[in-house]
Amino acid sequence: MWATTLLLAIREIRRHLLRSFLTILGIVIGVWAVVTMVTLGNGATQAVKTQISSLGANVLQVRPGQGFGRGGGGPQPPDFKIEDLDAIREQIVGVTAVAPQVQSSGAAVYNAANWSTTINGTNREYFTAQPWTITEGRIFSEAEEQAGKAVCVIGNTVNSRLFRGVEAVGQRFRIKNISCEVIGTLAAKGQGGFGNDQDDVVIMPYKAVQRRMTGNRDIRAILVSVDEAYDSQKVQASLKELLRERRHLTDEAEDDFNIFDTKQISDTLSGTTQILTALLGAVAAVSLLVGGIGIMNIMLVSVTERTREIGIRLAIGAVGKEVLMQFLVEAVVLSSLGGLLGLVLALLSTLALAPVLKVPFIFDVQINLLAFFFSAAIGVVFGYFPAKRAASLNPIDALRHE
Protein backbone atom coordinates (compact mmCIF):
# COMPACT_ATOMS: atom_id res chain seq x y z
CA MET A 1 0.00 0.00 0.00
CA TRP A 2 2.84 2.40 0.83
CA ALA A 3 4.49 1.85 -2.57
CA THR A 4 1.19 2.41 -4.40
CA THR A 5 0.46 5.55 -2.40
CA LEU A 6 3.94 6.92 -3.12
CA LEU A 7 3.56 6.24 -6.87
CA LEU A 8 0.18 7.97 -6.90
CA ALA A 9 1.69 10.98 -5.10
CA ILE A 10 4.55 11.26 -7.59
CA ARG A 11 2.13 10.92 -10.52
CA GLU A 12 -0.05 13.71 -9.15
CA ILE A 13 2.98 15.97 -8.66
CA ARG A 14 4.13 15.34 -12.24
CA ARG A 15 0.66 16.19 -13.60
CA HIS A 16 1.05 19.75 -12.29
CA LEU A 17 4.80 20.19 -12.48
CA LEU A 18 4.93 24.01 -12.52
CA ARG A 19 2.39 24.34 -9.72
CA SER A 20 4.30 21.77 -7.67
CA PHE A 21 7.56 23.70 -8.15
CA LEU A 22 5.96 26.98 -7.11
CA THR A 23 4.43 25.21 -4.12
CA ILE A 24 7.79 24.00 -2.79
CA LEU A 25 9.63 27.24 -3.58
CA GLY A 26 9.19 28.48 -0.03
CA ILE A 27 10.67 25.25 1.35
CA VAL A 28 13.58 25.47 -1.10
CA ILE A 29 14.39 29.03 -0.10
CA GLY A 30 14.01 28.25 3.61
CA VAL A 31 16.31 25.22 3.60
CA TRP A 32 18.82 27.01 1.36
CA ALA A 33 18.91 30.08 3.62
CA VAL A 34 19.17 28.13 6.90
CA VAL A 35 21.91 25.74 5.76
CA THR A 36 23.88 28.49 4.01
CA MET A 37 23.78 30.81 7.03
CA VAL A 38 24.74 28.09 9.48
CA THR A 39 27.54 26.71 7.28
CA LEU A 40 29.06 30.15 6.67
CA GLY A 41 28.63 30.97 10.36
CA ASN A 42 30.52 27.83 11.34
CA GLY A 43 33.26 28.79 8.89
CA ALA A 44 33.45 32.29 10.38
CA THR A 45 33.72 30.80 13.88
CA GLN A 46 36.55 28.54 12.76
CA ALA A 47 38.29 31.48 11.06
CA VAL A 48 38.12 33.49 14.30
CA LYS A 49 39.57 30.59 16.28
CA THR A 50 42.37 30.17 13.75
CA GLN A 51 43.25 33.87 13.79
CA ILE A 52 43.27 34.02 17.59
CA SER A 53 45.28 30.80 17.88
CA SER A 54 47.92 32.39 15.63
CA LEU A 55 48.57 34.78 18.52
CA GLY A 56 49.62 31.78 20.59
CA ALA A 57 47.78 29.05 22.48
CA ASN A 58 47.13 29.87 26.13
CA VAL A 59 49.15 33.09 25.98
CA LEU A 60 48.76 36.19 28.13
CA GLN A 61 49.60 39.49 26.42
CA VAL A 62 50.62 42.23 28.83
CA ARG A 63 50.62 45.86 27.67
CA PRO A 64 50.83 49.19 29.50
CA GLY A 65 47.69 51.31 29.58
CA GLN A 66 44.19 51.44 31.07
CA GLY A 67 41.39 49.77 29.10
CA PHE A 68 41.80 50.43 25.41
CA GLY A 69 43.31 53.87 25.96
CA ARG A 70 45.35 55.86 28.40
CA GLY A 71 42.26 56.82 30.43
CA GLY A 72 41.37 60.23 31.81
CA GLY A 73 43.80 62.13 29.59
CA GLY A 74 46.63 61.47 32.04
CA PRO A 75 50.24 60.63 31.29
CA GLN A 76 51.02 57.46 29.42
CA PRO A 77 51.83 54.57 31.77
CA PRO A 78 55.49 53.51 31.75
CA ASP A 79 56.72 50.62 29.67
CA PHE A 80 58.12 47.44 31.19
CA LYS A 81 61.73 46.64 32.03
CA ILE A 82 63.72 43.50 31.35
CA GLU A 83 63.79 42.92 35.11
CA ASP A 84 60.00 42.49 34.99
CA LEU A 85 60.45 39.51 32.67
CA ASP A 86 62.97 37.93 35.02
CA ALA A 87 60.58 38.38 37.95
CA ILE A 88 57.68 36.81 36.04
CA ARG A 89 59.85 33.87 35.00
CA GLU A 90 61.15 33.27 38.52
CA GLN A 91 58.16 34.05 40.76
CA ILE A 92 55.06 32.81 38.91
CA VAL A 93 54.32 29.09 38.74
CA GLY A 94 52.95 27.66 35.49
CA VAL A 95 54.81 29.97 33.12
CA THR A 96 56.60 28.19 30.27
CA ALA A 97 57.95 31.17 28.34
CA VAL A 98 58.27 34.94 28.77
CA ALA A 99 59.05 37.00 25.68
CA PRO A 100 59.54 40.78 25.39
CA GLN A 101 58.28 42.77 22.44
CA VAL A 102 60.20 45.85 21.39
CA GLN A 103 58.62 47.15 18.20
CA SER A 104 59.73 49.58 15.55
CA SER A 105 59.10 50.06 11.87
CA GLY A 106 61.16 51.08 8.90
CA ALA A 107 62.11 50.46 5.30
CA ALA A 108 63.90 47.23 4.42
CA VAL A 109 66.14 47.49 1.35
CA TYR A 110 67.79 44.73 -0.66
CA ASN A 111 69.40 45.70 -3.99
CA ALA A 112 66.66 47.53 -5.94
CA ALA A 113 63.79 46.19 -3.81
CA ASN A 114 62.48 47.97 -0.73
CA TRP A 115 59.57 47.35 1.59
CA SER A 116 58.23 49.11 4.69
CA THR A 117 57.74 46.57 7.46
CA THR A 118 57.39 45.99 11.20
CA ILE A 119 60.43 45.15 13.32
CA ASN A 120 59.80 42.98 16.36
CA GLY A 121 62.59 42.71 18.91
CA THR A 122 62.25 39.70 21.17
CA ASN A 123 64.07 36.68 22.60
CA ARG A 124 64.25 32.97 21.83
CA GLU A 125 61.26 32.22 24.08
CA TYR A 126 59.05 34.10 21.64
CA PHE A 127 59.10 31.06 19.35
CA THR A 128 57.86 28.94 22.28
CA ALA A 129 55.06 31.33 23.21
CA GLN A 130 54.00 31.65 19.57
CA PRO A 131 54.94 28.44 17.75
CA TRP A 132 55.95 29.48 14.25
CA THR A 133 57.39 27.06 11.73
CA ILE A 134 60.86 27.90 10.42
CA THR A 135 60.86 27.00 6.72
CA GLU A 136 64.55 27.70 6.13
CA GLY A 137 67.50 28.39 8.42
CA ARG A 138 67.19 28.80 12.20
CA ILE A 139 66.28 31.20 15.00
CA PHE A 140 68.97 33.34 16.65
CA SER A 141 71.14 31.67 19.28
CA GLU A 142 71.38 32.65 22.94
CA ALA A 143 74.81 34.20 22.32
CA GLU A 144 73.43 36.30 19.42
CA GLU A 145 70.51 37.35 21.62
CA GLN A 146 72.71 38.46 24.53
CA ALA A 147 75.16 40.26 22.25
CA GLY A 148 72.37 42.04 20.37
CA LYS A 149 73.74 40.87 17.05
CA ALA A 150 72.12 42.19 13.89
CA VAL A 151 70.59 38.91 12.72
CA CYS A 152 66.95 38.36 11.86
CA VAL A 153 64.22 35.91 10.96
CA ILE A 154 61.83 37.29 8.34
CA GLY A 155 58.15 36.64 7.60
CA ASN A 156 56.82 35.35 4.31
CA THR A 157 55.67 38.77 3.07
CA VAL A 158 59.06 40.39 3.62
CA ASN A 159 60.73 37.39 1.99
CA SER A 160 58.57 37.60 -1.13
CA ARG A 161 58.88 41.41 -1.42
CA LEU A 162 62.65 41.64 -1.02
CA PHE A 163 64.15 38.34 -2.13
CA ARG A 164 62.29 37.55 -5.34
CA GLY A 165 63.64 34.29 -6.64
CA VAL A 166 66.69 34.53 -4.33
CA GLU A 167 67.49 32.30 -1.37
CA ALA A 168 67.00 34.68 1.57
CA VAL A 169 68.98 32.80 4.23
CA GLY A 170 72.54 34.08 4.31
CA GLN A 171 71.73 37.37 2.55
CA ARG A 172 72.25 40.78 4.13
CA PHE A 173 69.86 43.70 3.72
CA ARG A 174 69.53 47.14 5.25
CA ILE A 175 66.68 47.88 7.61
CA LYS A 176 66.46 51.46 8.81
CA ASN A 177 70.13 52.33 9.42
CA ILE A 178 71.63 48.90 10.12
CA SER A 179 72.76 45.96 8.05
CA CYS A 180 71.02 42.74 9.04
CA GLU A 181 71.79 39.13 8.14
CA VAL A 182 68.89 36.78 7.39
CA ILE A 183 69.33 33.56 9.34
CA GLY A 184 65.82 32.12 8.94
CA THR A 185 62.48 32.43 7.18
CA LEU A 186 59.02 31.82 8.65
CA ALA A 187 56.04 29.92 7.29
CA ALA A 188 53.05 31.97 6.14
CA LYS A 189 50.41 32.74 8.78
CA GLY A 190 48.07 35.06 6.89
CA GLN A 191 45.88 37.83 8.24
CA GLY A 192 45.67 38.44 11.98
CA GLY A 193 42.68 39.24 14.16
CA PHE A 194 42.49 42.92 13.13
CA GLY A 195 43.27 42.43 9.45
CA ASN A 196 47.01 42.98 9.89
CA ASP A 197 49.45 40.90 7.89
CA GLN A 198 51.24 38.69 10.41
CA ASP A 199 53.85 37.73 7.80
CA ASP A 200 54.96 41.34 7.31
CA VAL A 201 57.54 41.22 10.10
CA VAL A 202 61.27 41.12 10.77
CA ILE A 203 62.14 39.41 14.09
CA MET A 204 65.43 40.40 15.70
CA PRO A 205 67.09 40.07 19.15
CA TYR A 206 65.49 42.70 21.39
CA LYS A 207 68.84 44.15 22.46
CA ALA A 208 69.71 44.91 18.83
CA VAL A 209 66.42 46.79 18.38
CA GLN A 210 66.84 48.65 21.67
CA ARG A 211 70.42 49.75 21.01
CA ARG A 212 70.22 50.56 17.32
CA MET A 213 66.59 51.61 16.74
CA THR A 214 64.60 52.68 19.82
CA GLY A 215 67.56 53.97 21.81
CA ASN A 216 66.17 52.85 25.18
CA ARG A 217 65.70 49.71 27.29
CA ASP A 218 61.92 49.94 27.47
CA ILE A 219 59.74 46.95 26.58
CA ARG A 220 56.38 47.76 25.09
CA ALA A 221 54.68 44.39 25.60
CA ILE A 222 55.27 40.99 27.22
CA LEU A 223 54.06 37.60 26.04
CA VAL A 224 53.57 35.05 28.83
CA SER A 225 52.95 31.45 27.80
CA VAL A 226 51.01 29.41 30.38
CA ASP A 227 51.33 25.66 30.83
CA GLU A 228 48.03 23.99 29.87
CA ALA A 229 48.15 21.98 33.13
CA TYR A 230 47.68 25.23 35.11
CA ASP A 231 44.61 27.42 35.44
CA SER A 232 45.27 30.51 33.33
CA GLN A 233 42.97 32.56 35.56
CA LYS A 234 45.13 31.88 38.62
CA VAL A 235 48.31 32.59 36.66
CA GLN A 236 46.74 35.82 35.43
CA ALA A 237 45.84 36.85 38.99
CA SER A 238 49.40 36.13 40.18
CA LEU A 239 50.80 38.09 37.24
CA LYS A 240 48.57 41.04 38.03
CA GLU A 241 49.61 41.05 41.69
CA LEU A 242 53.31 40.86 40.79
CA LEU A 243 53.15 43.70 38.24
CA ARG A 244 51.22 45.95 40.61
CA GLU A 245 53.91 45.40 43.20
CA ARG A 246 56.75 46.05 40.77
CA ARG A 247 55.07 49.19 39.39
CA HIS A 248 54.49 50.48 42.97
CA LEU A 249 50.71 50.84 42.67
CA THR A 250 48.75 51.53 45.83
CA ASP A 251 45.67 49.53 46.79
CA GLU A 252 43.42 52.38 45.63
CA ALA A 253 45.19 52.88 42.30
CA GLU A 254 43.86 51.29 39.13
CA ASP A 255 46.00 48.98 37.04
CA ASP A 256 48.17 50.87 34.57
CA PHE A 257 48.55 47.77 32.42
CA ASN A 258 46.27 45.31 30.59
CA ILE A 259 46.42 41.54 30.52
CA PHE A 260 44.74 39.92 27.51
CA ASP A 261 44.07 36.18 27.61
CA THR A 262 44.05 34.85 24.03
CA LYS A 263 41.98 31.83 25.10
CA GLN A 264 39.31 34.05 26.63
CA ILE A 265 39.30 36.27 23.55
CA SER A 266 38.90 33.21 21.33
CA ASP A 267 36.05 31.80 23.43
CA THR A 268 34.26 35.16 23.55
CA LEU A 269 34.50 35.84 19.82
CA SER A 270 33.57 32.25 18.97
CA GLY A 271 30.55 32.44 21.27
CA THR A 272 29.48 35.73 19.66
CA THR A 273 29.68 34.35 16.12
CA GLN A 274 27.76 31.24 17.17
CA ILE A 275 24.97 33.36 18.65
CA LEU A 276 24.79 35.49 15.50
CA THR A 277 24.73 32.32 13.39
CA ALA A 278 21.85 30.94 15.45
CA LEU A 279 19.91 34.20 15.12
CA LEU A 280 20.43 34.35 11.35
CA GLY A 281 19.41 30.70 11.07
CA ALA A 282 16.25 31.36 13.09
CA VAL A 283 15.31 34.31 10.88
CA ALA A 284 15.91 32.22 7.77
CA ALA A 285 13.81 29.39 9.22
CA VAL A 286 10.74 31.65 9.09
CA SER A 287 10.64 31.10 5.33
CA LEU A 288 10.21 27.37 6.04
CA LEU A 289 6.95 28.17 7.82
CA VAL A 290 5.89 30.33 4.89
CA GLY A 291 6.65 27.41 2.58
CA GLY A 292 4.56 25.12 4.77
CA ILE A 293 1.60 27.49 4.53
CA GLY A 294 2.03 27.44 0.73
CA ILE A 295 1.91 23.64 0.73
CA MET A 296 -1.27 23.63 2.86
CA ASN A 297 -2.91 26.16 0.56
CA ILE A 298 -2.16 24.20 -2.61
CA MET A 299 -3.19 20.91 -1.01
CA LEU A 300 -6.56 22.44 -0.09
CA VAL A 301 -6.97 23.53 -3.71
CA SER A 302 -6.03 20.00 -4.79
CA VAL A 303 -8.68 18.50 -2.51
CA THR A 304 -11.29 20.78 -4.06
CA GLU A 305 -10.19 19.91 -7.60
CA ARG A 306 -10.20 16.17 -6.90
CA THR A 307 -13.39 15.98 -4.85
CA ARG A 308 -15.14 13.79 -7.44
CA GLU A 309 -12.08 11.48 -7.65
CA ILE A 310 -12.12 11.15 -3.85
CA GLY A 311 -15.84 10.35 -3.94
CA ILE A 312 -15.29 7.56 -6.48
CA ARG A 313 -12.55 6.00 -4.36
CA LEU A 314 -14.65 6.12 -1.24
CA ALA A 315 -17.64 4.69 -3.13
CA ILE A 316 -15.73 1.64 -4.42
CA GLY A 317 -14.41 0.68 -1.01
CA ALA A 318 -11.52 2.95 -0.01
CA VAL A 319 -11.55 3.95 3.64
CA GLY A 320 -10.92 7.43 4.98
CA LYS A 321 -7.55 6.40 6.40
CA GLU A 322 -6.28 5.49 2.92
CA VAL A 323 -7.44 8.79 1.43
CA LEU A 324 -5.80 10.69 4.31
CA MET A 325 -2.58 8.77 3.76
CA GLN A 326 -2.57 9.57 0.03
CA PHE A 327 -2.80 13.34 0.50
CA LEU A 328 -0.41 13.31 3.46
CA VAL A 329 2.20 11.43 1.41
CA GLU A 330 1.79 13.96 -1.41
CA ALA A 331 2.48 16.81 1.02
CA VAL A 332 5.53 15.05 2.49
CA VAL A 333 6.93 14.23 -0.97
CA LEU A 334 6.51 17.86 -2.03
CA SER A 335 8.25 19.24 1.07
CA SER A 336 11.00 16.60 0.89
CA LEU A 337 11.74 17.49 -2.73
CA GLY A 338 11.91 21.13 -1.67
CA GLY A 339 14.34 20.17 1.10
CA LEU A 340 16.60 18.27 -1.31
CA LEU A 341 16.67 21.16 -3.80
CA GLY A 342 17.41 23.57 -0.95
CA LEU A 343 20.34 21.43 0.24
CA VAL A 344 21.81 21.32 -3.28
CA LEU A 345 21.52 25.10 -3.63
CA ALA A 346 23.03 25.59 -0.16
CA LEU A 347 26.01 23.39 -1.02
CA LEU A 348 26.68 25.26 -4.27
CA SER A 349 26.27 28.71 -2.70
CA THR A 350 28.50 27.99 0.31
CA LEU A 351 31.20 26.56 -1.95
CA ALA A 352 31.05 29.79 -3.96
CA LEU A 353 30.77 32.24 -1.04
CA ALA A 354 33.32 30.72 1.35
CA PRO A 355 36.38 31.82 -0.71
CA VAL A 356 34.86 35.27 -1.26
CA LEU A 357 34.28 35.77 2.49
CA LYS A 358 37.66 34.16 3.25
CA VAL A 359 36.23 31.59 5.63
CA PRO A 360 36.79 27.82 5.50
CA PHE A 361 34.07 25.60 4.06
CA ILE A 362 32.90 23.23 6.81
CA PHE A 363 30.31 20.67 5.72
CA ASP A 364 28.08 19.97 8.71
CA VAL A 365 26.22 16.68 8.21
CA GLN A 366 24.06 17.31 11.25
CA ILE A 367 22.59 20.64 10.09
CA ASN A 368 21.97 19.24 6.59
CA LEU A 369 20.09 16.22 7.92
CA LEU A 370 18.21 18.37 10.43
CA ALA A 371 17.11 20.81 7.69
CA PHE A 372 15.94 17.94 5.47
CA PHE A 373 13.94 16.18 8.20
CA PHE A 374 12.48 19.50 9.31
CA SER A 375 11.30 20.17 5.76
CA ALA A 376 9.66 16.70 5.69
CA ALA A 377 8.04 17.46 9.05
CA ILE A 378 6.65 20.68 7.56
CA GLY A 379 4.85 18.51 4.99
CA VAL A 380 3.32 16.37 7.74
CA VAL A 381 2.20 19.33 9.86
CA PHE A 382 0.77 21.50 7.08
CA GLY A 383 -0.47 18.62 4.96
CA TYR A 384 -2.49 16.97 7.69
CA PHE A 385 -5.43 19.43 7.61
CA PRO A 386 -6.05 19.14 3.84
CA ALA A 387 -5.61 15.35 4.06
CA LYS A 388 -8.05 15.15 6.97
CA ARG A 389 -10.54 17.24 5.03
CA ALA A 390 -10.27 14.91 2.04
CA ALA A 391 -10.72 11.83 4.21
CA SER A 392 -13.83 13.23 5.89
CA LEU A 393 -15.72 13.93 2.65
CA ASN A 394 -19.11 12.26 2.25
CA PRO A 395 -18.94 9.90 -0.78
CA ILE A 396 -22.41 10.95 -2.05
CA ASP A 397 -21.69 14.69 -1.74
CA ALA A 398 -18.26 14.17 -3.34
CA LEU A 399 -19.81 12.35 -6.33
CA ARG A 400 -22.32 15.19 -6.83
CA HIS A 401 -19.49 17.78 -6.90
CA GLU A 402 -18.98 19.50 -10.27
- CA dist 324 and 392 (Å) reads 9
Per-residue model confidence (pLDDT) at position 215: 84
Q: SS3 of 231, please?
A: coil
Q: How far is CA 397 from CA 186, 327, 336, in A?
A: 83, 19, 33
**β-strands 134-137, 178-186: how paired?**
antiparallel
- CA dist 26 and 237 (Å) reads 54
Which residues are CB-neighbours of 338 under 8 A, at least 6 positions away? 24, 25, 26, 27, 28, 31, 291, 375
Per-residue model confidence (pLDDT) at position 348: 94
Q: Where are the domains of the chain?
A: 2-51+267-400, 78-255
Residues of the chain where predicted confidence (pLDDT) is lower than 50: 68-72
pLDDT in tens, 273-315: 777 777 777 776 777 777 777 777 777 777 666 666 666 666 7
Quick one: which of 105, 112, 107, 118 has its CA closest to 166?
A: 112
Per-residue model confidence (pLDDT) at position 70: 44
Per-residue model confidence (pLDDT) at position 358: 81
Residue 212 is classified by DSSP as I
Per-residue model confidence (pLDDT) at position 21: 79
Per-residue model confidence (pLDDT) at position 286: 75
Per-residue model confidence (pLDDT) at position 68: 46
Could you write out the DSSP letters of every residue in 254-289?
PPSEEEEEHHHHHHHHHHHHHHHHHHHHHHHHHHHH
pLDDT in tens, 141-200: 999 999 999 999 999 999 999 998 889 999 999 998 899 999 999 998 876 655 578 899
